[in-house]
Amino acid sequence: MSARTELRASEYWERLDHFLAAALDDLSRTRIEKLIRAGRVTVNGGTETRKSREIRAGDRVAVERESEETPAYVPSQSLRKLYEDEWLLVIDKPPGLAVHPGAGEKRETILDIFRHEYPRIGEMADLERPGIVHRLDKDTSGVLILAKSEEAVSAMQALFQERAMAKTYLALVAGAMRFRNGTIDRPLARSLRNRARFEVAGEDREDRREAITEFSVIREFARFTFVKLMPHTGRTHQLRVHLAHFGNPVLGDVLYNKSRGKDFPRLALHAFRIAFDHPFSGERVEVTRPLPRDLRQYMIEQLQAEP
């Protein structure tokens, strides 16, 4: 069950969260921000997830909060831990589970489970994405690093920015690659036609950003190729865009593959390995996660089908 509180602003407020904090003195600022982020606040009848939204005199604001009878959140699964110490947690991210909520995202995420299992991360300054230092696409599986404290977040983000993280991915890509190994050095920018996509950008794009991917072929099959990928930069969709640009899109990629996911039921991309020098202990940390069963089984079936 839920309780609904309806309010009407009598004056101008610069921010929605400030208005609610003044009007609802029984709710903490943290609780208010969580309600806004969860889509439980409406302004003039429309859902508002921006805490910085301006409120004008006469605006109608409604807040829906869970009553005491509402069952507590219980995750559908536990985090699959690969490495853990007092600062960091490295997990095996399953495909189909987003790392954190995106625009309009209502389904369970890695962050939801992380908050439940490690409630202290709720004390971090970043209320929207506490402990998130990097991300994997929703349908990508494999090694993902989470941080348990503000200090760990800052230290790990610095390692990523300094390109001090050695990352290796495995993928099944359409067709045969022209070269068995090499480096793709093509800058990327957001697509001007579809804001959900990125593309290789020409010199006329001022918003282009450097993107470098090293690759090597592991095995060729009749219709696809098993490849190892080592990104030296961490741009959004970098591996997917680079591969699609040269005619070898990742199987199951609904954004960049013309098959629209008909050649494999999910994005055939796996974060296999990550290695770095621990920012606090100084030790070399290397975590790997073997190729998941669905990708291994697919390759076995294709081998058996080949003449």
| Mean of pLDDT values over 113-142 | 91
Sign of CA dihedral 228, 295, 129, 16: positive
142: left (phi over 0), alpha (psi -120 to 50) or beta: left
| Mean of pLDDT values over 76-93 | 96
Catalytic residue among 137, 139, 253, 263: 137
- pLDDT digits 0-9 by tens, 224-258: 999 999 999 999 999 999 999 999 999 999 999 98
- pLDDT digits 0-9 by tens, 268-306: 999 999 999 999 999 999 999 999 999 999 999 998 887
**Mean pLDDT comparison of 18-27, 51-60, 105-114, highest-scoring range:** 51-60
Quickly state the pLDDT bin for 156 (edges 50, 70, 90).
very high
Q: Does residue 176 carry a pLDDT above 90?
A: yes
Torsion angle, CA of 214/188/198/251, rounded to 10 degrees? -10
**Cβ-based neighbours of 253, under 8 Å, separated by 6 or more:** 240, 244, 261, 267, 268, 269
Torsion angle, CA of 242/234/109/126, rounded to 10 degrees? -150
Q: What angle do CA 234, 192, 242 make, to 5 degrees?
A: 35
Quickly state the pLDDT bin for 56 (edges 50, 70, 90).
very high
Helix (H, G, I), strand (E, B) or coil at 24: coil
1 vs 124, more confident:
124
Q: Does residue 68 carry a pLDDT above 70?
A: no
* 139: annotated active-site residue: no
Check residue 70 and give its pLDDT. Answer: 53
Check residue 67 and give its pLDDT. Answer: 60
The whole-chain average pLDDT of the chain stands at 91
How far is Cα 187 from Cα 138, in angstroms, rounded to an integer? Answer: 23
Check residue 82 and give its pLDDT. Answer: 98
- Whole-model pTM? 0.77
Write the CA distances from 81 to 4, 111, 113, 249, 261, integer angstroms.
39, 14, 12, 30, 29
Q: State what percent of residues in the chain have pLDDT above 70.
A: 96
Write the CA distances from 246 to 176, 180, 243, 290, integer angstroms.
11, 13, 5, 27
Report yes or no: 194 and 256 within 8 Å, Cβ to Cβ: no
Quickly state the pLDDT bin for 105 (edges 50, 70, 90).
low
How far is Cα 86 from Cα 138, in angstroms, rounded to an integer? Answer: 27
Report yes or no: 168 and 273 within 8 Å, Cβ to Cβ: yes
**Cβ-based neighbours of 221, under 8 Å, separated by 6 or more:** 299, 302, 303, 306
